[in-house]
Structure 1
């Protein structure tokens, strides 16, 4: 009969990074495991990955799924954080507690823990992780938090490093060289800063004659900005809205350089051998910049002068280095440790 596992994360919500985590998790699950994915869009999840999918907001369906399963996996990413909402950690912790109560093996997989600003959320996160059969985390900050709580864990790079990428049809027909740009809405990406970045992109494009690919990872937060920038660009540009995370990663195969805010945008670009420039809106992005020694700024550090911005980009474009093949392979091999965590925990 095999093992049934309920997979829970921010899936089916139109976010390229979270979809990439789901695709990586499905790629790493032992072959004997049948996944049931809790999704915001079950039909789309079923069609894309050919797996059983149920509505993440349907309590009855979730309870049925848990009762039919032996394993519960909290899929990757920053699920337990209260920066965006106080309700979201309650949802994830509540499901984990229910799975533990029903006697399922529970795995917190490839987690980025925090930020946790409220003492109640910290307490709840501590309790929930303490009840897991296995925990893997993707960054040193999360590792430090679990160490403080005395909870055993495995630390490995984000699983998306190891996601198999697929080529994007028509990409090679677009003029080369190509540069990818990914920005998302954020309170610190003020109109003035966005304007400075846009002017810098205009100057950069004029100087390099590059084709700019604007890559929204989540339409709700990224598309409007991409359209606003594109309307002002003097040269060739394209907005690529890719739903398939493996294609999203595959775009970066045909790109010389990436300027990105999103965490998984930077990982995908670095993994495919692009030069990367990071614009950090979150500790997870800053931690990644530090770990990989990526050039970039936090949003608050963006220079006011567009020429200073474009000069920095031109310098990277002309003389910057991508990660070496060995460095990329090291990250990929280490990211596959998350697969071993699944095999060991489910096989026990």
Structure 2
């Protein structure tokens, strides 16, 4: 069986690449994956897979015709908050695949926000036609229940992604082959911010000042992790200019390494959903800076401390003192809770096996 995997792959986003890596890890062994990617050459080189340009209509149709199934692979693909086009792209492709007779699996979806009536209608029609549907959060499950569409709810699959230790970092700032753990002073705190309208220059300035004070108080080494270089690197560089000798920017492309870097981290401060999931799964204390309902849901589910960016304190001293308190007295998830979430995430693997082996 050949399965076409469709998501926001090949766009340099660490979270979406982690979803692809987890999907490949979970696919039944008898399934040959074919990937739609924003960078087919890079995807082919990384995984050794057949890959096609995701926005080239002729190659997309060619890929669909060559496959037996379409897997709509993970994350907030059906939403109209950041893109009005996204629901039509994914929904349209799924409708075409269904008309062509392919098995269609909506896998590990986070549905919404859906502000427009037409996108809600499209989403409902598309999910209703799927062979199997799995979602990663309660809000998405509630929406599907309202639409009377059968589905499975399970934790985000990235909880179950197999990580690799980061023994060397072949970046510009560390010497080739240098041991990451030896080169970067301990203890370490990771920071993952992303560009967003709610991360205003003023709020970024407050966060930077708070991080400088936090670092001085705790004597920690700050690891700045851009999850999507195009969006995050300039923010990391701006913060590092105030933390010159006590910080390092790490740009890790391979999802298993990106998750593995958190093994050597004491605490993570993150905006991006998958930075918090990866950190929590590796036993880090986490502090969230939310810009999206999906991050709010994670904070609720894990009782994770944090602020919505819109409610970020105006005083950097309050921010730094809150971080210092969490660093000193906060608890990571217990190993039992992590294992529970990993086991739960593996339900997404069962959904794939049920859909593709029957």
- What is the TM-score when the length of structure 2 is the normalising length? 0.96
Counterpart-to-counterpart distance in 2, 1:293 and 1:51 = 39
Which stretches in structure 2 are left out of the alignment for 5+ residues?
A: 169-178
Greater Cα shift, 298-307 or 229-238: 229-238
CA deviations over 1:226-279 (Å, ceiling 9, x no partner): 000000115411000011011000010000000000000000000000000000
Counterpart-to-counterpart distance in 1, 2:221 and 2:258 = 17
In the TM superposition, 1:287-306 aligns within 5 A as 287-306=297-316
Residue 237 (structure 1) aligned to one of 247, 250, 253: 247
Counterpart-to-counterpart distance in 2, 1:347 and 1:186 = 41
The answer to whether 1:150 aligns with 2:160 is: no
Counterpart-to-counterpart distance in 2, 1:234 and 1:83 = 36
Residue 283 (structure 2) aligned to one of 273, 278, 300: 273
SS of 1:76's equivalent in the other structure is: strand
Structure 1 ranges of 4+ moved more than 4 A: none
Residue 176 (structure 1) aligned to one of 186, 211, 214: 186
For residue 178 of structure 1, report the CA deviation from its aligned partner. Answer: 0.5
Count of aligned residue pairs for this structure pair: 346
Query: Is the contact made by 1:206 and 1:234 (CA closer than 8 Å) also made in structure 2?
Result: no
Q: Which residue of 2 aligns with 1:119?
A: 117
CA deviations over 1:189-236 (Å, ceiling 9, x no partner): 111111110000000011111110000001121111100000011541
SS of 2:75's equivalent in the other structure is: coil
Counterpart-to-counterpart distance in 2, 1:295 and 1:262 = 14
Counterpart-to-counterpart distance in 1, 2:335 and 2:288 = 20
Counterpart-to-counterpart distance in 2, 1:228 and 1:327 = 36
Q: Which residue of 1 aligns with 2:35?
A: 37
Counterpart-to-counterpart distance in 2, 1:198 and 1:62 = 44
In the TM superposition, 1:159-308 aligns within 5 A as 159-168=157-166, 169=168, 170-173=179-182, 174-233=184-243, 235-308=245-318
Q: Which residue of 1 aligns with 2:131?
A: 133
Q: Alpha carbon RMSD of aligned pairs, Å?
A: 0.7
Counterpart-to-counterpart distance in 2, 1:213 and 1:249 = 13
SS of 2:283's equivalent in the other structure is: coil
Query: Is the contact made by 1:129 and 1:135 (CA closer than 8 Å) also made in structure 2?
Result: yes
Counterpart-to-counterpart distance in 2, 1:235 and 1:61 = 48
For residue 171 of structure 1, report the CA deviation from its aligned partner. Answer: 2.1
Counterpart-to-counterpart distance in 2, 1:340 and 1:155 = 12
Greater Cα shift, 169-178 or 336-345: 169-178
Query: Is the contact made by 1:278 and 1:297 (CA closer than 8 Å) also made in structure 2?
Result: yes
SS of 1:75's equivalent in the other structure is: strand
The answer to whether 1:332 aligns with 2:342 is: yes
Query: Is the contact made by 1:171 and 1:254 (CA closer than 8 Å) also made in structure 2?
Result: no
Counterpart-to-counterpart distance in 2, 1:171 and 1:236 = 15
For residue 8 of structure 1, report the CA deviation from its aligned partner. Answer: 0.2
In the TM superposition, 1:22-101 aligns within 5 A as 22-101=20-99
Counterpart-to-counterpart distance in 2, 1:282 and 1:295 = 15
Query: Is the contact made by 1:259 and 1:278 (CA closer than 8 Å) also made in structure 2?
Result: yes
Which stretches in structure 1 are left out of the alignment for 5+ residues?
A: none
For residue 68 of structure 1, report the CA deviation from its aligned partner. Answer: 1.2
